[in-house]
Structure 1
Amino acid sequence: MKKIFLFLILILTLSACSTNDYEPIVYENPEIAFDIPDGFPQPNSSIYTNKPTKYGVELGKLLFNDKRFSANNSVSCASCHIQSNAFADTNIQAIGIEGRIGLRNTPPIQNLAFMKFFNWDGSKLNLESQPIFPIVTHEEMDSSILEVIGKIKDDLQYKELFKKAFGDENITAERIYRSIVQYEYTLISANTKYDRVIRNKSETFTESEAKGYEIFQQKCASCHSGELFTDQSFRNIGFPINTNSNEAGRARVTGKPEDFMSFRVPSLRNVEYTAPYGSFGQFATLKEVLDYFDNGVLSADNLDPIFKENDNRIPLTEDEKEYLIAFMKTLSDNEFTGRD
């Protein structure tokens, strides 16, 4: 009888420890403090519905660097968006799977949280809807989000991170996009010599840099304005034209002739590290860009008034070019680019 009694106790104990009473592990996933640098505009409103979190960012960074996003496992987001180049690269035009050449130069992806438009033609207003396009584009990754999910769904590291970031191991397209963008929201560059001179007064410009800053205010700041060094407008500035029949600049998005070959004004932060320049890498150096402005740009019906009203050029002496380049190099953030 005693043995039967002990057996019943054992059965009850085991029942109490059954999976029905299992308490899953709940991970704390705190939001990452998002500080707006002095003078920066308010962030894109999308960030408030997809705030960066500890594990969301960790997951996004892992996804950003995963070459399994491409059809033959050779190209990741980080293959073109290289930290030392302000998350751009050094190619004239982006190079994707099997060496396929894209339509445009790879844009840097710094300070995206503060941008109103994404891509050179502003085709995206919401960053969370952007990651699918490099995945499916023939010249980039030539894959599909279902193929990507199939490759990573049994990866234990991903299972753990999706659970930590979203509460369970379910890997979905939306969670992939949101995580990548959370990581991109943290790529903020605001620690340059310029910032230290203007905001903190902890450094001073050299004579050449100071002269360059003065010239910049006179001849460049109307487009490259504010602390992002872009007014985020779209302009045709008469650069040599990409003859690819798929190219039309902003007009690809709007369908308006007045937007033909207009592109988003690039930020000049870290411009020292983002060569070559232009929508398809028309210029190898900053000096070549300034020489082109000085010599005269291509005429067009929708040429930006800054050029059209000044004989299609921005006149610059050789000394002024040297000073401008010296100033633009003060916009380099070596901590952000990992060049320290």
Structure 2
Amino acid sequence: MKVFLKILPILFLLVSCSNDDYEPLYTNNPELSINIPVGFPQVNNSFYTNKPTKYGVALGEKLFHEKRFSADNTISCASCHIQSSAFADNNVQAIGIEGRIGLRNTPPIQNLAFMRFYNWDGSKLSLENQPIVPIITHEEMDSSILEVIGKIQNDAAYKELFQKTFGDENITPERIYRSIAQYEYTLISDNSKYDKVKRNEATFTENEMQGYQVFQQKCASCHSTELFTDQSFRNIGFPINTNSNEAGRARVTGNMDEYMSFRVPSLRNVEYTAPYGSFGQFTTLKDVLDYFDNGVIEADNLDPVFKNNGNRIPLTEQEKEHLISFMKTLSDVEFTGH
């Protein structure tokens, strides 16, 4: 029996090392405890194979702020994803190197662990596959992952972090993507006034309560769940971006029934993410509500929420005021640093 017990650890080590997917677990790089807010949807499946770790998140945050990702060393992920704007920015469309204008408005980076799709058109299904997009896009960083690695591979700080995260100093594309995703998984916003009301830690004002009731009647079918988005793709008749590269979800699927359909945005921290729309069509929340009230653009694939109601969501001026009051309760000052 004693001999058998001595052999067991050796057998276990051999079996573990024979697994092609084997990644050693370093006791000095523990998994972080991530608070999953009550009522939130399930996390993206990719989360389970790339759980945030102490040094993985530290490395991902450093990479997120790394301007050497861009061809001219001027643009990092954080240049467009600014914390005070819920990790979006306040430009109509994203601005990359040399002042190049991107196709779309910068989306906020929050609660990504719970999303099923990424980018306005849902072109990526996991965070680990997303960072390559801005790196290679001409209007954003206009670089390549190999060029990025060439710039940072002799940086002592990166060598140390890759060693602590993965067990050696080898810098690979996959490790870069996984580290950035780990950092982004930790960007959870769940401490707004709305959340405090749900936890019986605060109460709505009369205007906020009125707005919440209007929201439930006229908005919650699309902006549902505790993420305030059902993550569907819809054409809601917004003014159209005439750029020939734009087709919304159809740009990904090739299905023209999804032409100019975009992922329903989360309304969390919406107070801080102006302008609104896939290419910043609206300056204020009031502009958006006025547009819905006045009538949206007709389209064959216009969402039934509008098509079945005269192409509009009718709202009184008081309802608009109350709705905006409610939407501001979704602002998380701790998350955004306001």
The residue aligned with 1:288 is 287
* Matches for 1:282-321 after TM superposition, within 5 Å: 282-321=281-320
Shift of 1:36: 1.1
Larger CA Rg, structure 1 vs 2: 1
Where in structure 1 do 4 or more consecutive aligned residues deviate above 2 Å? none
**Cα deviation 1:272-315 (Å, max 9, x = unaligned):** 00000000000000000000000000000000001001100000
Give the Cα separation in 2 of the matches to 1:264 and 1:30: 35
The amino acid that maps onto 2:318 is D
The residue aligned with 2:256 is 257
The residue aligned with 2:19 is none
Partner SS, residue 138 of structure 1: coil
Partner SS, residue 40 of structure 1: coil
Give the Cα separation in 2 of the matches to 1:251 and 1:32: 38
Partner SS, residue 113 of structure 2: helix
The amino acid that maps onto 1:64 is F
Give the Cα separation in 1 of the matches to 2:257 and 2:86: 31
* Matches for 1:144-293 after TM superposition, within 5 Å: 144-198=144-198, 200-293=199-292
The residue aligned with 2:67 is 67
The residue aligned with 1:18 is none
**Cα deviation 1:86-137 (Å, max 9, x = unaligned):** 0000000000000000000000010000000000000011110110110010
The residue aligned with 2:117 is 117
Shift of 1:27: 6.5
**Cα deviation 1:36-83 (Å, max 9, x = unaligned):** 101001100000000100000000000000100000000000000000
**Cα deviation 1:168-196 (Å, max 9, x = unaligned):** 11111110000000000000000000000
Give the Cα separation in 2 of the matches to 1:154 and 1:251: 42
Query: Which structure 2 segments of 5+ residues have no match?
Result: 1-25
Give the Cα separation in 1 of the matches to 2:49 and 2:264: 27
The amino acid that maps onto 1:307 is F
The residue aligned with 1:335 is 334
Give the Cα separation in 1 of the matches to 2:294 and 2:98: 38
Shift of 1:35: 2.1
The amino acid that maps onto 2:248 is G
The residue aligned with 1:47 is 47
**Cα deviation 1:127-185 (Å, max 9, x = unaligned):** 10110110010000001111110110111100000000000111111100000000000
Decide whether the 8 Å contact of 1:27 with 1:164 is kept in 2. Answer: no
The residue aligned with 1:94 is 94
The residue aligned with 2:34 is 34
Normalising by structure 1, report the TM-score.
0.91
Shift of 1:227: 0.2
Give the Cα separation in 2 of the matches to 1:224 and 1:98: 36
The amino acid that maps onto 1:280 is F
The residue aligned with 2:21 is none
Give the Cα separation in 1 of the matches to 2:222 and 2:131: 28
**Cα deviation 1:10-30 (Å, max 9, x = unaligned):** xxxxxxxxxxxxxxxx76000
The amino acid that maps onto 2:173 is A
Give the Cα separation in 1 of the matches to 2:58 and 2:39: 28
